[in-house]
Structure 1
Amino acid sequence: MVTGANSGLGFETARALAAKGARVVLTARNAERGGAALAKIRVEYPGADLELASLDLADLDSVRAFADGFDEPVDVLVNNAGVMMPPRKLTKQGFESQFATNHLGHFALTGLLLGQIRERVVTVTSGLHRRGVIQFDDLTRERAYSPVDAYAQSKLANVLFALELHRRAGSSLVSTYAHPGYSATNLQSSGPTGVLNLLLKPANMLVAQSAEQGALPQLYAATAGDVRGGDFFGPDGLGEMRGYPKRVQPVHAATDPDTAARLWTVSEELTGVTYPM
């Protein structure tokens, strides 16, 4: 199962898995775009075993409805969907949109499907997690909002979640995580506005690697036989900006078990999802 599979890294992940004969459930917030993505994969791989499901990770009601209606086993869950650096916006449940979509939605989804996940959970983060700070006293960033800082907070939350899931699951489940380096996706154009948008567009053309290349670390995390719980994968090039998958290290703050446990408790309270561990 790949969240946010209608474009970018999610699409390339679903496409690569389908090419190898996997049954792939693609989730998408927009049914039309999701259908177009599924059709595109089927043109390239006519025998692909695909299913499209509607899922808006910014809306916890949508997450619950999806989980309630999905009763199949899941070998691998790829928590890929995300938003990047939009203007400040609150979700239906009153959460800052990046923290809600990138972290809380996936926290809830994983917890609700946990009994059906048979092998591993892959959480997609970003190299920008290294500048993230979890502002527990202002998670909605009401006092001061920076699109970049809020994004970094959500991506640090991804790492803290992946490592805490690894601690709590033990040997019963592999929780691993990955980042794509600097990859050209629609996130850079659909989220940021103003100066950020103007800066990221030429950077995409001049610096970024393709989404197909950027998806390799999460594909490795999802499929490789030597992956262990707690492993982190990113590109092997300079500054982990581009290249082929290798094991990398998170920022030291992301490995703090006390911060991770606190975030876990807060996430359970905010989502109403308690993990059956």
Structure 2
Amino acid sequence: MLMSTPFTASSTAMDVTTGVDLTGRAMIVTGASSGIGVETARALAARGAQVTLAVRDMDAGQRTADTIAATTGNDRVSVRRLDLTDLGSIGAFSTEWNGPLHALIHNAGVMETPQTYTRHGWELQFATNHLGHFALTLALQSALTEAATATGEARIVAVSSSGHGSSPVRFDDLFFRRRPYDPGQAYGQSKTAQILFAVEATRRWAHHGITANALMPGGVWTNLQRHWDPDRRARLQAAFPGKTLQQGAATSVLLAASPRLRGVSGRYFDDCNEAEPVEEIIDGLHGVRAWALDQDAARRLWDVSLALVDAVRG
């Protein structure tokens, strides 16, 4: 049975946490200096959480943290540098983390970038959206387990996209070395990978009290679409206003903080409810493709991802 809540596409991040007290909970939001990441962090802080903004741009991150502290009255908002394309940066971030971690929100991402490779030789979208978050979560597993041992749960939230419907993970050519580069398909497989990560993390870590779910935030106009052709963006934005940032952050915050999601894991949500399996993504926004929930693909992706990370680390 699909998991349902009373919330909808119009619900905001504050709506879904009404009455929720997160005092004493430590949470990390990656990419929290812009877009829905800001509103995700703001809602969590407003409910009392200790929130760490994991960002590449420290100046932008500090401005965001100061604004969140001022608007919520919660001064337990900090900023730490994190570059998800660099395993050295990920290692430094995780080494410096102290204490339990109650929620890790994989919010940072890039979309339909020009063909680019990281210093590790990985295609940029797959590296940022999946591999970087994968390595970060492995490095913070002990902190998640510590939180789960103390409170009965810790949560991983992966911000995926309906864009996963454009491509499964192409294991035979992850980084477009042999096929022509297609920015939309590269984005799609990276977002499929985020859902598969939640599926396999559930199988591996549920007995530790760690849950993992993925989500589609909804159609939200942010800096994420900066690589789109300006005319294309203008046409679509005029025809489809989309969600506000506060509405776009709602499903992330629901999965990270709501008691309604306690014990729920390995699922994909949109508009604050579990998405139904579909043959094609409905209206470009709704539903989940079977390839994103395939347990065999999830296990294979984990093994491949671990091998890639280990090869770089030596």
Report the RMSD for the aligned CA atoms in angstroms.
1.5
Report the Cα distance in structure 2 between the residues aligned to 1:168 and 1:198, rounded to whole angstroms: 45
1:48-197 to 2 correspondence within 5 Å?
48-117=75-144, 118=147, 119-142=154-177, 143-172=179-208, 173-189=210-226, 192-193=227-228, 195=229, 197=230
2:90–2:136 contact (8 Å) kept in structure 1: yes
Structure-2-length-normalised TM-score: 0.79
Displacement of 1:198? 2.7
1:59–1:92 contact (8 Å) kept in structure 2: yes
Residue 214 of structure 2 aligns to a residue whose secondary structure is strand
Displacement of 1:48? 3.1
Q: Deviations over 1:75-132 (max 9, x none)?
A: 1111111011110100111100000000000000000000101211111100111222
Alignment correspondent of 1:242:
none
Residue 26 of structure 1 aligns to a residue whose secondary structure is strand
1:183–1:204 contact (8 Å) kept in structure 2: no
Displacement of 1:133? 2.1
Q: Deviations over 1:153-174 (max 9, x none)?
A: 1000001111111111123211
Residue 2 of structure 1 aligns to a residue whose secondary structure is strand
Report the Cα distance in structure 2 between the residues aligned to 1:74 and 1:201, rounded to whole angstroms: 40
Displacement of 1:225? 1.3
Alignment correspondent of 2:260:
226
Alignment correspondent of 1:13:
40
Report the Cα distance in structure 1 between the residues aligned to 2:164 and 2:293, rounded to whole angstroms: 12
Q: Does 1:198 align with 2:236?
A: no
Displacement of 1:206? 4.1
One-letter code of the match for 1:36? R
Report the Cα distance in structure 2 between the residues aligned to 1:135 and 1:211, rounded to whole angstroms: 32
Q: Deviations over 1:221-263 (max 9, x none)?
A: 111112101232211xxxxxxxxx1121321111211111111
One-letter code of the match for 1:266? V
Report the Cα distance in structure 1 between the residues aligned to 2:291 and 2:213, rounded to whole angstroms: 17
Report the Cα distance in structure 2 between the residues aligned to 1:53 and 1:210, rounded to whole angstroms: 26
Aligned identity (percent) is 39
Q: Deviations over 1:146-197 (max 9, x none)?
A: 11110001000001111111111123211112111111111012xx14x3x4
Report the Cα distance in structure 1 between the residues aligned to 2:74 and 2:92, rounded to whole angstroms: 29
2:198–2:267 contact (8 Å) kept in structure 1: no
Range with greater deviation from structure 2 (261-270 or 68-77): 68-77
Structure-1-length-normalised TM-score: 0.90
Report the Cα distance in structure 2 between the residues aligned to 1:269 and 1:167, rounded to whole angstroms: 19
